[in-house]
Amino acid sequence: MNILLLGYGKMGKIIGEIAESRGHSIAGKINIDNKEDLQKLDPKDVDVAIEFSQPEAAFENISWAINHGVPVVVGTTGWLDKKSEIEKMTLDKNGSFFYASNFSIGVNIFFKVNEFLSKLMNETTGYGVSIEEIHHTAKKDAPSGTAITLAEGIIKNLNSKNTWNLNGETPSSEESVEITSKRIDPAPGTHIIRYQSPIDDLEITHTAHSRQGFALGAVLVAEWIPEKKGVLSMDDFLSF
């Protein structure tokens, strides 16, 4: 399979290495230094694109793939204000667009544990809930896409919450899930859900030890997506 890498930073390089180790070829490596080369590529030479670039480049990269009939697997976060446009474009073009805030199998299990726990906590009282996420200093967006997904899972199941709040940037309220974002090297990613009360605390934590899990997950999805159509997610891939 010929894989186009849209974004060739630390994650893109690891994805490329894993893809080649699994017998795939790299059709191109597009980053900020050669972004004009994207328009020179022949889409017929690309089976699937994997997009791990920067928030400011993601929309253009994804649009190129969809408009040229190339299935695209996206892990870039921080651009989701335009996600609805991409979803409409995908459906209009009968394309294949896959987005995940995190491709780690372990993290996606953690998402499900988080939702299950929030359902249980919805049946009790006296607990406040918060999220803490820690990433390396090169990560530009905050909160992480993973933290947002976790907050959305809590909001969906906890009747007392209807929004999230980052680092106290807006006035806090009883209805918001507080997210604290920290940038500390060399942390590849830690996410902690805390339920606190005067009586006790309850925590669940996911800690990534490297980027390998994220990268492998993206390659596995890229191997899966060529025969699929529409707007897809990890729930589709893992059949949760």
Domain that holds residue 23: 2-103+212-238
Same domain as 119, residue 99: no
Same domain as 158, residue 66: no
Q: Convert the pLDDT of each residue in 15-51 to its tens digit.
A: 999 999 999 999 999 999 999 999 999 999 999 999 9
Q: Convert the pLDDT of each residue in 139-162 to its tens digit.
A: 878 999 899 999 999 999 999 999
pLDDT for the residue numbered 187: 85
Annotated catalytic residue within 135, 161, 191, 206: 135
Same domain as 174, residue 141: yes
Annotated catalytic residue within 93, 139, 228, 229: 139
Q: Convert the pLDDT of each residue in 80-126 to its tens digit.
A: 999 999 999 999 999 999 999 899 989 999 999 999 999 999 999 99
pLDDT at residue 172 tops 90: no
SS3 letters across the chain: CEEEEECCCHHHHHHHHHHHHCCCEEEEEECCCCHHHHHHCCHHHCCEEEECCCHHHHHHHHHHHHHCCCCEEECCCCCHHHHHHHHHHHHHCCCEEEECCCCCHHHHHHHHHHHHHHHHHCCCCCCEEEEEEEECCCCCCCCCHHHHHHHHHHHHHCCCCCEEEECCCCCCCCCEEEEEEEECCCCCCEEEEEEECCCCEEEEEEECCCCHHHHHHHHHHHHHHHHCCEEECHHHHHCC
**For the domain that residue 167 is a member of, what is the CATH number?**
3.30.360.10
Same domain as 154, residue 123: yes
Same domain as 145, residue 127: yes
Q: Convert the pLDDT of each residue in 204-236 to its tens digit.
A: 999 999 889 999 999 999 999 999 999 999 999
Structural domains in the chain (count): 2
Q: Give the global pTM.
A: 0.82
Same domain as 112, residue 40: no
Active site residue 136: no
Same domain as 123, residue 60: no
**For the domain that residue 38 is a member of, what is the CATH number?**
3.40.50.720
Active site residue 35: no
